[in-house]
């Protein structure tokens, strides 16, 4: 991305598997976890919760004694117009993703939909409103 080339599925899947493994480990140890990433496609979000092959096992082979772990994911979809997000990207200094790649992100995006566990929040809200909405949703779950 730093070179101005958008990531494809082959680039993203190993990274998502690593994130899945970290989530699985932390959830199995009883931790509550917040992960911020651009899981743009449903397939990416499925890998985060279920692993690469749809089973809630580590993406790396675990062996016969591996236990399935139930991982529930609440997707917080921060939605905003291309113009708003582009304007914010242009103000970033030293970020790895150049603003020129934003269009590819919008083209790749598959917004969450039922039956996914998600909430959608507009980026037009201020940060404290976004956090309050997320916290209220978590209290109800």
Q: Domain residues for 129?
A: 75-140
Same domain, 36 and 5: yes
Q: Please give the structure tokens belonging to residue 124.
A: 């037009």
pLDDT, tens digit, for every residue of 58-86? 455 443 333 444 568 889 999 999 999 99
Q: Distance between CA atoms of 65 and 34, rounded to whole angstroms?
A: 28
Residue 95 clears pLDDT 80, i.e. is over it: no
Sign of the alpha-carbon torsion through 132, 136, 139, 141:
negative
pTM for this predicted structure = 0.78
pLDDT score recorded for residue 67: 42
Same domain, 45 and 112: no
pLDDT score recorded for residue 59: 55
pLDDT, tens digit, for every residue of 18-49? 999 999 999 889 888 899 988 999 999 999 98
- Picking from 120, 104, 73, the residue whose alpha carbon sits closest to that of residue 9 is 104
Same domain, 60 and 4: yes
Q: Where does a domain end: 73, 101, 129?
A: 73
73 contacts 45 by C-beta, under 8 angstroms = yes
Same domain, 27 and 65: yes
pLDDT, tens digit, for every residue of 97-122? 778 889 999 999 999 999 999 999 99
């Amino acid at each position: 991305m730093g070179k101005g080339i958008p990531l494809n599925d082959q680039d993203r899947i190993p990274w998502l598997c690593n994130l899945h493994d970290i989530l699985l480990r932390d959830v199995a140890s009883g931790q509550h976890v917040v992960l911020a990433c651009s899981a743009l496609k449903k397939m990416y979000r499925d890998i985060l919760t279920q692993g690469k092959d749809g089973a809630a096992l580590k993406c790396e082979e675990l062996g016969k004694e591996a236990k399935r772990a139930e991982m529930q994911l609440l997707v917080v979809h921060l939605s905003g117009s291309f113009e708003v997000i582009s304007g914010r990207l242009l103000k970033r200094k030293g970020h790895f993703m150049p603003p020129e790649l934003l269009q590819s992100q919008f083209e790749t995006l598959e917004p969450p939909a039922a039956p996914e566990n998600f909430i959608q929040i507009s980026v037009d809200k201020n940060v404290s409103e976004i956090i309050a909405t997320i916290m209220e949703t978590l209290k109800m779950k």
